[in-house]
Structure 1
Amino acid sequence: MLIIGAKGFAKEVLEVFHQLNQLDNIAFYDDVNVDSEHFLYGLFPILKNENEVKDFFNKYGNDFTIGIGNPQLRYVLMKKFISIGGNMVSSISNKAIIGSYGVKIGNGCNVLDNAIFSNGSSVGKGCIIYYNVTLTHDCEVGDFVELSPGVTLLGSCKIGSFSQIGANATILPKIKIGQNVIIGAGAVVTKDIPDNCVAVGLPSKVIRNLEPINLGL
């Protein structure tokens, strides 16, 4: 398994594989911090370029997951590593609580401890579902969304792709949040939020607009 990134969030992804007892042939990829150490924690190789990645895929299989938090960067990295033969897979903590009926988790998601997925909830590909996130019944989350620690999504709400929901924010039932939206930490969202904006507060209000994403989608 190749984990893309070797800093911050990648270390939390590593813990998931440790809990699952799946540490054989784990490596990391970091072509940004070129002067960093060659092994993370003295145990796990850090690959530095695409040729090393291709060699790794040939020897140990082509599964990878993304250990970097920025939604748009995660999308770009997915495209890059698929183009060199990779297969994006999810990492799901065995301490997550996942409902028995109608739950859908897309490829390449990272699900951390104590996340709760109620029946009928769904998340798209490439999402981050952090510690203590709760998705209640029939919530729909798009692709490459980041749900920060303690987020609560109440029944049948919808979160658009490439959005980031801040720590301990609450989204009320049936609320729709657009694509490329940032919701501030601790916000309570009581009304629909349009695409490409930042909303904060209790109740949340839009405070500024964002440039639309341009990833060739």
Structure 2
Amino acid sequence: MIVIGAKGHASEMYPSLLEKYNKERLFYFDNILTNLEKYLFDIPIIKDECKVSKLFEKDPEFTLGIGNPNLREKMTSKFIDLGGDLISIIDSKSTVDLNSTIGKGVNIMPYAAIFSNAVIETGVLINSFSSVHHDCFIGEFSELSPGSRILGGAKIGRLCSIGANTIILPGINVCDNVKIGAGAVVTKDITTEGIYIGIPAIKK
């Protein structure tokens, strides 16, 4: 199992990874940051894509340890081309309703909650203490920061970044490629990509 990324979010995933995998099976991958050590939590950090391909011959599983939605999508495509199989990591301390739909490669962090009939698409990151309520939809590779709340029937597009403690009110639609600042409250549909902040949220 290779975890893409070897800093912030990747390090937070460590306890969740150990629920499912032995240490000996884990590797981190990061070929962007130059100041990394050789190990993170005693787990090797790989920087060479050729080594990734060789590891995939024995174990094709990988997961996303980065938060940025565009980078999550880009690295998923690259690692699938290298022969990888995108895997979800769902922490045992999260709550996931049996009637929800969870796509491939989803990260659900401790104390997050997914409620009935929610749909979470491929590569989404649901951070700690965030909640996705009944009949919501979260599009591919979007990121929900800690404490964000997506209320009943709201829909979030692809490649969105929802800031910490943001609230999306019931039934609201947010289009693709939107960033919403921390603590914002979205009271109306967002139909144009961009950055939105404040209460109520307006385009920056």
TM-score (norm 2): 0.95
Quote the Cα distance in structure 2 between the aligned partners of 1:47 and 1:10. 13
User: How far off its partner does 1:22 sit?
Assistant: 4.2
Asked if the contact 1:189/1:203 (under 8 Å) is kept, the reply is: yes
The CA deviation string for residues 29-71 of structure 1, in whole angstroms up to 9 with x for no partner, is 1112345322213x21111111111222223x11000111110
1:45 aligns with 2:44: yes
1:115 aligns with 2:112: yes
Query: Which 4+ residue blocks in structure 1 deviate beyond 6 angstroms?
Result: none
Asked if the contact 1:20/1:94 (under 8 Å) is kept, the reply is: no
What is the aligned partner in structure 2 of residue 106 from structure 1?
103
What is the aligned partner in structure 2 of residue 64 from structure 1?
62
Asked if the contact 2:23/2:43 (under 8 Å) is kept, the reply is: no
TM-score (norm 1): 0.90
> Which range is displaced more, 172-181 or 31-40?
31-40
Task: Report 1:128-139 matches (<5 A).
Answer: 128-139=125-136
What is the aligned partner in structure 1 of residue 188 from structure 2?
191
Asked if the contact 1:9/1:68 (under 8 Å) is kept, the reply is: yes
Quote the Cα distance in structure 2 between the aligned partners of 1:100 and 1:75. 26
1:147 aligns with 2:144: yes
What is the aligned partner in structure 1 of residue 36 from structure 2?
36
What root-mean-square deviation, in Å, do the aligned CA atoms of Structure 1 and Structure 2 show? Answer: 1.3
List gaps (5 residues or longer) in structure 1: 208-217
What is the aligned partner in structure 1 of residue 82 from structure 2?
84
Look up the equivalent residue of 2:154 and give its one-letter code. Answer: C
Quote the Cα distance in structure 1 between the aligned partners of 2:148 and 2:201. 14
Asked if the contact 1:139/1:154 (under 8 Å) is kept, the reply is: yes
User: How far off its partner does 1:25 sit?
Assistant: 0.7
List gaps (5 residues or longer) in structure 2: none
Alignment equivalent of 1:93, drawn from 91, 94, 116 = 91
1:54 aligns with 2:60: no
